[in-house]
């Protein structure tokens, strides 16, 4: 039976079809290598129910050898494809097993992978695998506040903070670090990008002492921490008259502050910064550019090897809906493309995957492929802000798979998954990913137990963007529930969940028909006249924004090929057609039906599919721990109410607006 807390590390006896030697020989190493050995012993106990005997390295023994690849290769008769940075090789011989990391992180990842493959039943004599992460940066962002709340958190309060201070359980943080590290995460930002109230004190001595304790736990698992800082700190915290990045006293303040911070956390990854965004302070206040701001901070952390993650979520959030010339989707490109090449070498731009804000369906942002001389990563969201608050099930690797497959059409090998690489000047390489996490103090970490799959999936896909949503769903289901009919059904439920959610949500990429602020449930005109700049402008005849060259010109931010593809009704993907075009309700879609009929159809279908997931779940009642069954059941029931609200409000809204009936005569409320 499932123990939710353990996630993909269930205690479940495995009968391997090969010999796992009782002896383990681990090379001496630093703390991550030590942790790798501990994890190996722990994992074998869990899966094979014996405690490995630790012996000094001796290649005459029948043993499992843990170590650094170069050393093992030299000493043993072992060889495999050499792993790259943070990579590992696993080789299962007749009576020897090698788990070799390119480095200590690689070794730890190798041990975790060995254990997961063992649990999945995928190992056998003769098995060998050499694998290295595709992305150098595999980051988790916490939007945790010091009062213990979590912005956009749906899994209980913060793992790190309470009542204005650090307040964490060391054991729980270790368990958390294990979960993250086992999927390949190597960076974590520990506080909300909106740095308010007590969080401003994080970079003071008293709080840094606790931050260092937290960092020490993550460090053992190969994870470095980022701190989110408030750009106005020299003014608000340091009492300087300004936070102007070109003011010498400000630069000096940050340099001294960095020195203090690095005294406590010598391997700090750096700072994460949300500046000039949604009310946060930034260089614009002083008529400076984002380069001025980021580079000044970069200079401060440079002596310590630190880096600046600078978010590109910068847009005018004081819009007037009357102004049709404005298009919020243009903002990131308009702000940052002109700055390409002007950032310091230790500044990394963090760009949301789409031009809006983590919508259920958005195009990939045009900055990807367009930046050639600036380090950058892609920002994703694991926490289900717009995707159902971990009440509704929404399996996110589907979204990420679509993103990875997107072809930016800038030159060759221009699909996102092909662009994930270490930075190289002159190329549009994306160095990796950051994602806002979905975890909290809930016993099962993620509120909805099945939302663990999104946490797992993010790590896996950040490591290897070529993995498919289906592969990951299969891995996660088997690891969590064992290889059986239950896990097969759950895999199916996961895979069904995103298409259903998309169908009952805002139609065809039009976005933001959601309850303001909370972002759960339908509110079709909720943002229609507000300051946030996300309008659909539905009238009696048509809906959507013309973003082509005849409209706001947003499409022209893409490569020529993509601009053409999106501009043309025929080639624009239909699931995004209302993002790019304003269309009359009688527009004929590829299935021969009108747009309005497609809106009706998808909403009836999405709601039916949510109902089917509920039934699928009910069929598992006898095969699941009661607590798990009930907690997920209650969520599916709430999801069904939500899906019905979406279906009826969307259908009624368009029916009222157009007077057009459903051709199949289903119930639309008037």
Question: CB of residue 321 vs a second copy: minimum separation in angstroms?
Answer: 8
Report the run of H or E that residue 472 belongs to, with start and end: helix 469-481
Residue 357 a catalytic site member: yes
Which among 331, 446, 329 is positioned nearest to 396, based on CA atoms? 446
Q: Catalytic one among 385, 402, 601, 609?
A: 385
Question: CB of residue 658 vs a second copy: minimum separation in angstroms?
Answer: 7
d(CA 27, CA 30): 10
Question: CB of residue 387 vs a second copy: minimum separation in angstroms?
Answer: 21
- Burial code (b: 16+ CB inside 10 Å, e: under 16) for 337-362 equals eebeebbbebbbbbbbbbbbbbbbbb
d(CA 261, CA 229): 12
Question: CB of residue 531 vs a second copy: minimum separation in angstroms?
Answer: 11
Residue 278 a catalytic site member: yes
Nearer of residues 484 and 515 to a second copy, judged by Cβ: 515
Question: CB of residue 642 vs a second copy: minimum separation in angstroms?
Answer: 12
d(CA 568, CA 588): 14
Nearer of residues 319 and 468 to a second copy, judged by Cβ: 319
Nearer of residues 358 and 527 to a second copy, judged by Cβ: 527
Which among 131, 43, 148, 126 is positioned nearest to 81, based on CA atoms? 131
The two tokens of residue 331 are 């903002």
Using CB under 8 A as the criterion, which residues of the chain lie in contact with a second copy when the complex forms? 321-322, 522-525, 529, 537-541, 645, 648-649, 652, 655-659, 669-670
Q: Catalytic one among 93, 276, 357, 379?
A: 357
Nearer of residues 284 and 321 to a second copy, judged by Cβ: 321
Q: At what angle do helices 485-504 and 626-658 cross, to 10 degrees?
A: 20
Q: Catalytic one among 169, 278, 320, 637?
A: 278
Which among 264, 288, 265, 268 is positioned nearest to 276, based on CA atoms? 288
d(CA 566, CA 556): 9
Which among 603, 606, 599, 604 is positioned nearest to 538, based on CA atoms? 599
Nearer of residues 525 and 549 to a second copy, judged by Cβ: 525
Please name the residues in contact with 375: beta carbons below 8 A apart, sequence gap of 6 or more.
343, 345, 347, 348, 349, 423, 431
Contact 450, 393 (CB under 8 A): yes
d(CA 313, CA 331): 8
Nearer of residues 153 and 522 to a second copy, judged by Cβ: 522
In Å, the largest CA–CA distance within the chain is 82
Catalytic residue IDs: 278, 357, 385
């Amino acid at each position: 039976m499932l123990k939710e807390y353990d996630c993909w590390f269930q205690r479940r006896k495995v009968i391997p079809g090969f010999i796992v030697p009782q002896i383990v020989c681990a090379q001496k190493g630093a703390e991550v290598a030590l942790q790798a050995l501990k994890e190996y012993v722990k994992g074998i106990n869990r899966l094979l129910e014996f405690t490995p005997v630790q012996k000094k390295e001796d290649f005459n023994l029948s043993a499992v050898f843990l170590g650094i690849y170069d050393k093992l290769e030299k000493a043993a008769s072992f060889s495999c494809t050499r792993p790259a940075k943070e990579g590992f090789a696993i080789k299962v011989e007749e009576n020897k097993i090698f788990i070799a990391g390119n480095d200590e992180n690689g070794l730890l990842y190798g041990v975790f992978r060995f254990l997961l493959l063992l649990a999945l039943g995928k190992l056998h004599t003769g098995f060998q695998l050499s694998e290295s992460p595709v992305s150098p940066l595999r980051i988790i962002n916490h939007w945790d506040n010091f009062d213990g709340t979590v912005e956009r958190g749906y899994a209980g309060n913060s793992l790190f903070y309470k009542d204005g201070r650090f307040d964490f359980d060391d054991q729980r943080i270790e368990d958390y670090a294990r979960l993250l590290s086992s999927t390949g995460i190597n960076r974590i930002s520990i506080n909300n990008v909106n740095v308010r109230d007590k969080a401003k004190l994080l970079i003071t001595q008293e709080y840094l002492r606790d931050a260092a304790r937290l960092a020490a736990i993550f460090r053992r698992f190969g994870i470095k921490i980022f701190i989110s800082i408030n750009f106005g700190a020299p003014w608000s915290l340091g009492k300087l008259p300004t936070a102007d990045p070109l003011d010498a006293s400000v630069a000096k303040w940050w340099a001294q502050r960095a020195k203090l911070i690095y005294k406590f956390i010598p391997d700090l990854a750096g700072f994460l910064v949300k500046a000039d965004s949604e009310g946060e302070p930034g260089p614009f206040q002083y008529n400076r550019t984002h380069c001025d701001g980021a580079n000044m901070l970069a200079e401060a952390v440079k002596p310590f090897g630190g880096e600046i993650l600078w978010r590109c979520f910068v847009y005018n959030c004081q819009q007037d809906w009357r102004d049709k010339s404005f298009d919020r989707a243009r903002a990131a490109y308009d702000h940052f493309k002109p700055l390409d090449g002007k950032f310091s070498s230790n500044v990394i731009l963090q760009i949301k995957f789409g031009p809006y804000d983590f919508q259920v369906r958005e195009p990939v942002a045009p900055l990807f492929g367009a930046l050639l001389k600036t380090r950058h990563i892609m920002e994703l969201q694991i926490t289900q802000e717009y995707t159902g608050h971990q009440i509704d099930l929404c399996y996110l690797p589907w979204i990420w798979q679509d993103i990875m497959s997107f072809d930016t059409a800038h030159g060759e090998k221009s699909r996102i998954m092909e662009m994930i690489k270490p930075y190289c000047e002159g190329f549009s390489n994306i160095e990796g990913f950051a994602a806002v996490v979905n975890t909290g103090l809930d016993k099962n970490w993620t509120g909805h137990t099945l939302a663990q799959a999104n946490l797992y999936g993010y790590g896996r896909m950040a490591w290897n963007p070529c993995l498919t949503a289906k592969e990951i769903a299969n891995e996660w289901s088997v690891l969590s529930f064992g290889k059986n009919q239950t896990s097969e059904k759950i895999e199916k439920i996961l895979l069904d969940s995103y298409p259903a959610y998309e169908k009952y949500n805002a139609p065809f990429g039009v976005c933001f028909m959601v309850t303001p602020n909370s972002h759960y449930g339908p509110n079709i005109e909720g943002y229609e006249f507000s300051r946030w700049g996300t309008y659909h402008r539905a009238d009696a005849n048509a809906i959507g924004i013309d973003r082509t060259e005849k409209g706001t010109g947003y499409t022209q931010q893409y490569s020529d090929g993509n601009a053409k593809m999106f501009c043309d009704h025929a080639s624009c993907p239909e699931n995004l057609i209302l993002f790019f075009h304003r269309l009359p309700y009688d527009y004929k879609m590829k299935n021969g039906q009108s747009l309005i009929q497609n809106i009706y159809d998808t909403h009836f279908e999405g709601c039916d599919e949510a109902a089917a997931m509920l039934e699928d779940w009910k069929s598992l009642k006898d095969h699941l721990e009661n607590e798990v069954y009930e907690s997920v059941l209650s969520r599916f029931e709430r999801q069904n109410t939500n899906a019905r609200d979406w279906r009826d409000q969307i259908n009624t809204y368009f029916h009222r607006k157009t007077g057009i009936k459903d051709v199949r005569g289903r119930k639309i409320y008037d």
